[in-house]
Structure formats: structure tokens, C-alpha cells
Amino acid sequence: MVSIFKEDYSFMTKYLVFGHKNPDTDTIASAIAMSYFLEKQGEEAEPVALGEVNDETAFALNYFNVSAPRVVTTVANEVSNVALVDHNESVQSVEDLSEVTVDYVVDHHRISGFETAQPLYYRAEPIGCTATILFKMFVEHSYDIPKAIAGLMLSAIISDTLLFKSPTTTNQDENAAIELSKIADVNLEVYGMDLLKSGTDLSSKSETELLNSDAKNFDMDGKKVRIGQVNVVDFEDILARKSALLDQMATEFMAAGDLELSVLIITDILESNSIGLVVGNDFAAVEKAFKVPVVEQQLELPGVVSRKKQVVPQLTESYTV
């Protein structure tokens, strides 16, 4: 006799849900929101993080009274199935990703170096924030969003779009943020500036922390490029530390051994401009990508605020012959 039911009910899938290394506010908020979404769908899910939260994310978690997700460095020792948010590139994910089954991806980045053996739920949209996609998923399913989770999702949208000033911003992001601000019961503009400024006090940060708190690796036509980004409210204080930053970048560049280029994007969130600091063997690709000279390992990037849209594609194209 053949049963149409699973015989062993003791095995219930538990998902670990996580975003990229060096987590930002979207990665943390979306891991929490996606876990809640999966639980609404009857799954067991836990948000985890691939690193400690940054100051901005800590501000949002504290504001809405939510604990930071547990930090993990591997996942296969705990679960066999995972859900990815806010990333898909294996170089940005957990080290043992190849040892687990990815059943869900919700993301708003380019797709690179990602493949699975099994079919999966994969939702990618070219909009400003993963949390906006999740907001749409909640709406589509008529799921309520608890106040604290709405506040975190709102924070993610503010963070990723720099309060709608990034060219990655779409109407969907603005509309989602407005709706989420109502649920979270905050003034969007006031809370938004407070949140963004909470991530700009760099005085207590070491050079290593500045370089790595929001750094990501990218494969560009077989070349490995590391791009970090820091937000400031003016360039003066951070440029006073330029030589120390370049020294540390050079040290990390040599230690990595396989890097083609290391970039630090310093973004003035009030003026929507950036300055780049670069370490590498050759800056021809950088000058070609941004059509500006590299002078003393520094380049001006006027109007640039988005790594995803205004840095990665240009550099990738420059490296791709």
C-alpha cells in the first residue's frame, strides 16, 4: 500500500535566512522580514547574520526594540535548507553555501556566480531595496506586517536609497516606505535623516573597520575586485585619514593575494557625491570606467552614491574586454 503522506513527520525543514557578509540595514531587516514571511507560510525560519551589525542597523534595531540576529559563519552544521536575501553572489555569501540547498532568493542585485541543483523560488527585481520586494510579497499575500518589522523594512529602504536620493530608487520604494512609515508610526523624513546620520560617526572607527564594514567582493571577468563604501556628512574628517586608509588597504590587498583592485567609496550623503580611494597594480580600468584621472590613488566621483548602479557595472564593463 502506498501512502500519499510523508511517513516521517519528525523532519520539518528549518530555514536559516540571511543576507550578505558585512551586513547592512537591508540585509538584516530583510532577513528578519523574510523569516516572518516564511513563518506566515507555515515554515520554521530564523534570521541570522554573517557578521555584526553596523552602527546604522544598530540604531534601527534599537529604535524598534528588536534584537540583532545571531551571527553565524557556517550554516550546513545547523540546517540543510536556506533562504538568501539581499544577495546571490557566492563570494558575498556564507562560506559553506555549496553544502546546503537554497530554496529561496529575494534580491535586487545583479546575478553572478549563482547556481542550484534544484528548482527554487527566486525573486529579483531591479528596484532600490530588497525590503521593498518583501513589502510587495506581504501585500500580495495579504499578510499583516508587525510594527517593528515595518520599522526595520522602512529603515532598509531609507538606507539603500539614501532617503530616495540614490538613482536606484523607484516609485515602488517610495510608496512602500510611505506605507511602512504609517505602520511603524514614524515621520519618514525626520526618522530617515536620524537613521542615515547614525551611520556617519566614523571617529571611533579603525581604518580596518572603515574599509570592511560595508565591503563586498565582485568577480569582474575573472578578476576579483573589492569595493567598500562609507557614508559621511562631509569629506574633511575622513580625508585627513587618507594615508592611513591607503596603508591599510595596501596591507589587506597584499594579504588577500588574489585581488585585482581594492576601492573605497566615500559618499557624502548630504551632497550626493563620492570620492574613491584605490589600491591595485593598475588603475587604467578605473580611469576608463569613470572617465576621470586617478591622482594620488584618489578619484572624484561627482553624483555617485550607488555602488550597485554607478560603480560595479562601470568597472565590470571596463574589465570585460
Q: Which of residues 112-131 bind Mn ion (CB under 5 A)?
A: 130
Q: For residues 110 and 241, which CB has a smaller minimum distance to Mn ion in the complex?
A: 110
Contacts of 74 (CB under 8 A, 6+ apart): 94, 95, 96
Shortest approach of Mn ion to residue 9 CB, angstroms? 37
d(CA 304, CA 321): 24
Using CB under 5 A as the binding rule, whether residue 86 contacts Mn ion is answered as yes
Sheet of strand 298-301, all strands in order from the earlier edge strand to the far edge: 216-220, 223-232, 259-268, 273-280, 298-301
Residue number with CB closer to Mn ion (151 or 280): 151
Which residue spans within 115-257 are E strands per DSSP?
121-124, 216-220, 223-232
Nearer to Mn ion, 27 or 35 (CB): 27
Site track 13-52 with Mn ion (rule: CB under 5 A), x = hit: -----------x-xx-------------------------
Nearer to Mn ion, 297 or 308 (CB): 308
Report the candidate in 80, 83, 76, 66 with the shortest Cα–Cα distance to residue 19.
Answer: 83
Residue nearer to Mn ion on the CB measure, 56 or 86: 86
- In terms of CB distance, is 86 or 260 closer to Mn ion? 86
Could you count the other beta carbons within 10 Å of the beta carbon of residue 243? 11
Of all residues in this chain, which one has the CB nearest to Mn ion in the complex?
Answer: 26
Rounding to the nearest 10 degrees, give the CA dihedral for residues 203, 206, 211, 216.
Answer: -100
Helix 25-40 and helix 130-140, axial crossing angle in degrees, nearest 10? 20
- Residue closer to Mn ion, measured from CB, 18 or 280: 18
Supply the minimum distance, in Å, between the C-beta of residue 10 and Mn ion. Answer: 36
Residue 189 and residue 192: Cα distance in Å, rounded? 5
Minimum separation from the CB atom of position 297 to Mn ion (A):
26
CB 37 to Mn ion: min, Å: 16
Question: ∠ at Cα 48 (44, 53), nearest 5°?
Answer: 150
Asked if 160 touches Mn ion (CB under 5 A), the answer is yes
Of 130 and 306, the one with the shorter C-beta distance to Mn ion is 130
CB of 215 to Mn ion, least distance (A): 12
Task: Report if residue 89 touches Mn ion, rule: CB under 5 A.
Answer: no
Minimum separation from the CB atom of position 227 to Mn ion (A): 12
Q: Say which DSSP state 10 is in.
A: T
| Distances from the Cα of 80 to the Cα of 11, 31, 98, 135, 213, angstroms | 11, 17, 11, 27, 28
Q: Which helix (H) or strand (E) holds 44?
A: strand 44-49
Least CB distance to Mn ion at residue 82 (A): 17
Q: How far is the CB of 20 from Mn ion (least distance, A)?
A: 6
How far is 215 from 33, CA to CA, in rounded Å?
A: 23
Q: Which stretch binds Mn ion (CB under 5 A): 3-11, 93-101, 118-126, 158-166?
A: 158-166
Chain residues in the site for Mn ion (CB under 5 A): 24, 26-27, 86, 130, 160
